[in-house]
Amino acid sequence: MEQKRWWKESVVYQVYPRSFNDSNGDGIGDIPGIIEKLDYLKELGIDVIWLSPVYDSPNDDNGYDIRNYREIMDEFGTMEDWKKMTEEIHRRGMKLVMDLVVNHSSDEHPWFVESRSSRENPYRDYYIWRPARADGSAPNNWASAFSGPAWEFDEKTGEYYLHIFSKKQPDLNWENEQVRNEVYDMMTWWLDQGVDGFRMDVINFISKEPELPDAANPDNMPVVFGGEHFMNGPRIHEFMHEMHERVLKGRDVMTVGEMPGVDEKEAIRYTSPDRQELDMVFQFEHVDLDSGPGGKWDLRPFSMPALRDNLVKWQKALEKEGWNSLYLNNHDQPRMVSRFGNDSGRHRVRSAKMLAVLLHMMRGTPYVYQGEELGMTNVRFHSIESYQDIETRNMYAEMRNEGVPHEQLMEQIYVKGRDNARTPMQWNAEKHAGFTDGEPWLAVNPNFEEINAQSAVADPNSVYHFYRRLIHLRHTHDVIVYGSFDVLLEDHPDVFAYERVLDGERLTVYCSFSDQEAAVPAEAGEVLIRNYSDTLRDGNQLTLRPYEAVVFLEQN
Ligand code: NOJ
């Protein structure tokens, strides 16, 4: 009998605080702003809030570079504000998951300030320092995920330090037991303040191969991403289990590890309850399908059958052991309706609802990223100065340097840039979408007059109300949470269909990705939810209209 757990029955909502709601007019979202919107989230029906980092940070990477793990960022408020928010979340029966960013810290963290001060400093070994190679070049050929080399030379002590992300995000040395102890103490401290779990940033990067070997480089590039030497590295399961033993054991919390480069076999190792590591992971395969060998900016067309094959593989692999997290977008990914649906006027609402059905009827814990419930879309700013994201800006500068034309780079940014997801939340049709009374840190998407929470809440046919219904269904139908999963019509070019079965109940789910009609064999049962006002079911045939989604429930 499968173990019932609250986090399997929950829907998580991700808040990206900088862009959520500004209460004091400085143009930056903040914690009091989140408190103002808790009733909105409760009404939506969500169970858990995952808060992207709110810790003290110089904001080289919007808070994913932490200067003090036990303080709140000034722009976001105070520890008092945080405590009030946590209390208000709990008072409404919701839970709070904090972001844990411990693959790296900020270079302004006192540990790193000490570490770089001398080779003998007791904190030296908290980070990964190496001498130059004989010719003075960096210790290996790894690239930073944010362009350029992953090593920075530090004049003062004449060595290089490793930074897989920006040079203001030095990697912590998890081989050092003291570092691990510091992290475990800090996690325990937050749990004692009442947090209900952690989302762990690139947590499968923390165990590096100790020799830090060069990455394979068949194309002879100046630098290459060395993931093969630190993703799911040699001691990762030992560290995850140790963290469980030392921090999580005996506490009723949820954990989700963000894990680029994880496959389903590794995911089972991370999430099998017997192994006592994590509850679930964020895998990346399905959001990498539209990238070529050159990485995320190497654009490839979206293919529904490829998405289906991948999601079905994950559904089946983790059906009996482990647990899936379900997401189609977050603060690092383009908006799902622009990427997998159709954000042109006519089809936006319909396709946003279709994608929501696809995700929310699957087995796993669904994650809703702020604004997804409104069908918010990607954005197109014309000048690079309008973009704030470090990854986007670094890529642009590097490629311009190599002579790639501005227009081509902007096209890539329109498709994949992280600021697509980070434009301020659209609350109403007033100035700056009601996000701030001041000047927003990142401009609002100009479509806010049409797409905003106030009009969505007032419209019973909105994407917002559709999400409310989907979330309610998960809370009232065990088959959605615990049912088995099987794909249907597995060769159909446009329709993603599957069934879920539990104790004599059978759900069949149809999602059309086409802007044309498609006819498929009909299934029995009552309509549980749909994104059209009727269903074209005639004898054995079901006709699906553009981006139609329909779910049938059959009781035996
Ligand atoms: C993954 C986070 O989601 C992303 O926003 C961040 O830039 C990197 N990890 C580095 O922390």
Residues with CB under 6 A from ligand 1: 61, 64, 101, 165, 201-202, 258, 331-332
Q: Which of 147, 162, 177 is the last residue of a domain?
A: 162
CA 28 / ligand 1 centre spacing (Å): 19
Closest ligand 1 atom to Cα of 103: 11
Q: Which atom of ligand 1 is nearest to the CA of 64?
A: 11
Residue 390 CA: nearest ligand 1 atom is: 7
Atom of ligand 1 nearest to the CA of 61: 7
Asked if 155 and 49 touch (Cβ cutoff 8 Å), the reply is no
For a mutational test of ligand 1's pocket, the pick from 162, 201, 394, i.e. the residue with the most ligand atoms closer than 8 A to its C-beta, is: 201
Residue 250's pLDDT band (boundaries 50, 70, 90)?
Answer: very high
Residue 1 has pLDDT above 80, yes or no: no
The pLDDT assigned to 524 comes to 84
Q: Please identify which residue in the block is written with the tokens 């309706």.
A: 337
Q: What's the chain's Rg over C-alpha atoms? A: 23
Distances in Å between the Cα of 34 and the Cα atoms of 52, 361, 367, 545 are: 12, 28, 18, 39
Q: Which amino acid is at 327?
A: Y
- 255 within 8 A of 278, measured Cβ to Cβ: yes
In a domain, 330, yes or no: no
Mapped onto helix, strand or coil, the DSSP state of residue 500 is: strand
Domain that holds residue 500: 484-555
**Span from the CA of 313 to the centroid of ligand 1 (angstroms):** 26
Q: What average pLDDT does range 370-377 have in this prediction?
A: 99
Kindly report whether the global pTM for this prediction surpasses the value 0.95: yes
Q: Which residues carry out catalysis? A: 201, 258
Point out the domain boundary residue: 162, 191, 226: 162
What CATH number is given to the structural domain containing 140? 3.90.400.10
Q: Where are the beta strands (DSSP E) in 360-493?
A: 365-369, 484-488
pLDDT at 476 over 90: yes
Distance 412 CA to ligand 1 centre (A): 19
Average pLDDT over residues 373-380: 98
H or E stretch covering 399? helix 390-401
pLDDT at 152: 98
User: Ligand 1, residues 16, 64, 171, 284: which to mutate, most atoms within 8 A of Cβ?
Assistant: 64
**Amino acid symbol at 240:** M
Percentage above 70 pLDDT, the chain: 100
Out of 67, 101, 330, 394, give the residue to mutate to test ligand 1, the one with the largest number of ligand atoms within 8 Å of its CB. Answer: 101
User: What pLDDT is stored for residue 556 in this prediction?
Assistant: 84
Write the CATH number for 510.
2.60.40.1180
Nearest to 222 by CA among 286, 149, 293, 280: 149
For atom 4 of ligand 1, the residue with the nearest CA is: 332
119 assigned to some structural domain: yes
Confirm whether 547 is domain-assigned: yes
Residue 309: partners with Cβ closer than 8 Å, 6 or more residues away: none
Does some domain include residue 256? no
pLDDT at residue 398, as a whole number: 97
For the chain, give the mean pLDDT.
98
> Is residue 508 included in any domain, yes or no?
yes
- In the prediction, which pLDDT does 523 show? 84
The amino acid at residue 198 is F
Q: Which atom of ligand 1 is nearest to the CA of 418?
A: 5
pLDDT at 201 over 80: yes
pLDDT digits (tens, 9 = 90+) for 426-460: 999 999 999 999 999 999 999 999 999 999 999 99
Distance CA 283, CA 328 (A): 11
Query: What is the pLDDT at residue 254?
Result: 98
- Report the separation in Å between the CA atom of 196 and the middle of ligand 1, taken as the mean of its atom positions: 21
Residues 178-199, mean pLDDT to the nearest whole number:
98
Residue with tokens 């208000």, as numbered in its chain: 88
Whether residue 529 is contained in a domain is answered as yes
- Please write the tens of the pLDDT for every residue from 104-122: 999 999 999 999 999 999 9
Residue whose pair of structure tokens reads 């929501």 in the numeric block: 356
The answer to the question of residue 86 being in a domain is no
Q: Is residue 390 in some structural domain?
A: no
Measured between alpha carbons, how far is 364 from 369 in angstroms, rounded to an integer?
16
pLDDT tens, position by position, 204-241: 999 999 999 999 999 999 999 999 999 999 999 999 99
Q: Worst-scoring range by mean pLDDT, 61-65, 166-170, 243-247, 535-539?
A: 535-539
Q: Give one DSSP letter per residue of 248-262, joined into a string.
A: ITT---EEEEE-TT-
| CA of 423 relative to ligand 1 center, distance in Å | 17
- Look at ligand 1, atom 11, and give the residue with the nearest C-alpha: 64
**What is the total count of domains within the chain?**
2
